[in-house]
Amino acid sequence: MSGPARHLNVPVAAAGAAPLFRAVAWGVPLFLIAVTFVPDEDHTPLSQGTVLTLALVILAWFQLAPRRLAYTLTSDAVVIQRIIGQTRILYAGLSARRTSGVLGIRTFGTGLPGYLTGHFTLSRDERGVGRVLAAAARGRDGVLLHSDNTDYFLTPADPAAFLAELARRGAQVTP
C-alpha cells in the first residue's frame, strides 16, 4: 500500500445479502412498475405516472447506493463516503480491530442489499460493543473503528491490509 501522506481508496467488500432478500428488495420496484401497466379504470394517468416515478426512483436508489459506499485513507483521517454525506474519523485517538460481531437490528438508517448504513445493534462481539454506526456492504466480517466514544462498523475487502495501513498512519490497531 502507499505511504501515509497519500490518499488511498480502500475497496469495499462484496455485498453479502442473501439471495431471497435481494429478490424481495428488487421485486418491490419491479412489482410497482408492472402494476402501472395493468388496465384499471380507477387509475388516472397522473396516479400511474406517480407510481411509475416512485418505482424508478426506488430502482435507481438500489443501483446507486451500494456504488456510493467508499472508504478513503487521507493523510489525517479515514473518510467514509455514503450516498448522503461523508464522515471523517481522525487517526489521532482512533483505535481499530477486527470483530466477529454481526449487525443486528437497524435502529436508524438504510438496509439495502450491499448498503448498510446508520445505527445498528451489534451482536456476538467478543468485547461487548453493542451499538455501532455502520457503513458496510454486509453485516459480518467487519472492522470496528472507535473514536470519540463512537464505534463504526466497516467492511473493507481486505481487513488485514486495511488495519495494517491504519497502523502505519498512526491509529492504534489491536488484534
Residue 97 C-alpha cell reads as 480491530
Q: Are 144 and 108 in the same domain?
A: yes
**Do 114 and 68 touch, CB atoms closer than 8 A?**
no
pLDDT in tens, 3-23: 455 888 898 987 766 677 667
β-strands 102-112, 150-154 pairing: unpaired
> Based on the domain organization, do 134 and 58 belong to the same domain?
no
In whole angstroms, what is the distance from residue 107 CA to residue 131 CA?
A: 10
CA distance 61 to 54: 10
Residue 96 forms part of a structural domain: yes
Using one digit for the tens of pLDDT, what is the confidence trace for 129-172?
Answer: 899 999 999 999 999 999 999 999 999 999 999 999 999 999 99
Indicate if 105 and 153 belong to the same structural domain: yes
Residues 37 and 76 in one domain: no
For residues 115 and 62, membership in a common domain is answered with no
Same domain for 76 and 160, yes or no, is yes
Q: Do residues 57 and 99 share a domain? A: no
Asked whether residue 8 is assigned to any structural domain, the reply reads: no
Residues 56 and 80 in one domain: no
Asked if residue 14 belongs to a domain, the reply is no
97 and 159 share one domain: yes
Work out the pLDDT band at 46, boundaries 50, 70, 90. Answer: low
* pLDDT over threshold 70, residue 65: no
The residue behind cell 431471497 is: 20
Domain assignment of residue 105, given as a range: 68-173
